[in-house]
Chain A
Amino acid sequence: QSVLTQPPSVSAAPGQKVTISCSGSSSNIGNNNVAWYQQLPGTAPKLLIYDNNHRPSEIPDRFSGSKSGTSATLGITGLQTGDEADYYCITWDASLNGGVFGGGTKLTVL
């Protein structure tokens, strides 16, 4: 049971938009920035978003991030079949004095 709560799955049609939430507390998201990863089957995670809403240069602007209070959100627009993957949020937890991942969300592009 992760301290960061993500929906187990989300789905949407190609071309549509989807959002994935990551809910935490004041000891983690509430006082620390959030990053997001995409993981395709059998591969290492790929960084999508860091510092809540910054994208590495190679990540298209279809991917966006935001944070409000103790929750963060990953947004993906213009969905493509290649976006089907597992998505994870991560932040630092001051109470645990360590990093924490969300449980992960499986995105299905119908």
Chain B
Amino acid sequence: EAQLLESGGGLVQPGGSLRLSCAASGFSFSSYAMAWVRQAPGKGLEWVSAISDRGDTYYADFMKGRFTISRDNSKNTLYLQMNSVRAEDTAVYYCARDAPGASHHFDYWGQGTLVTVSS
């Protein structure tokens, strides 16, 4: 069965940088689009970014060039480089696998990694 394991979260100061990783196993990672979804404390789900199996990237407007999604198929790993972080970026960040089908949706999720932006 597919498994996703995020890492890299933690406490970071405003204006700082952080790189999240998502290690994938149990499926052919290179064949799937992947995404990051976040959830601020007590708030709803927020779509952050996605990357196709070919490496095409998509971003939510709020990131305004601060975040970069990437993947290393040789390591079965998805990344999210977060720069110039703000307090409002505090959230649990989930890695998710884009599922087959006509709708944009995810069939497997990681357990999430908490990013806290605070001085």
Determine whether the beta carbon of A44 is less than 8 Å from that of B109. Answer: yes
- When distances are taken between beta carbons in the complex, the residues of chain B under 8 Å from A37 are 45
Q: Does A35 contact B (CB under 8 A)?
A: yes
Determine whether the beta carbon of B44 is less than 8 Å from that of A88. Answer: yes
Binding site for A on B (CB under 8 A): 35, 37, 44-47, 49-50, 58-61, 94, 99, 101-107, 109-112
Determine whether the beta carbon of A51 is less than 8 Å from that of B58. Answer: no
Query: How far, in angstroms, from A15 to B19 measured CA to CA in the complex?
Result: 46
Contact with B along A29-52 (1 / 0, CB 8 A): 000111101010000110100111
Query: How far, in angstroms, from A100 to B104 measured CA to CA in the complex?
Result: 9
CB-contact partner of A32 in B44, B46, B104, B106, under 8 A: B104
Determine whether the beta carbon of A2 is less than 8 Å from that of B107. Answer: no
With A35-B103, A98-B59 already in contact, the answer to whether A44 and B110 are too (CB < 8 A) is: yes
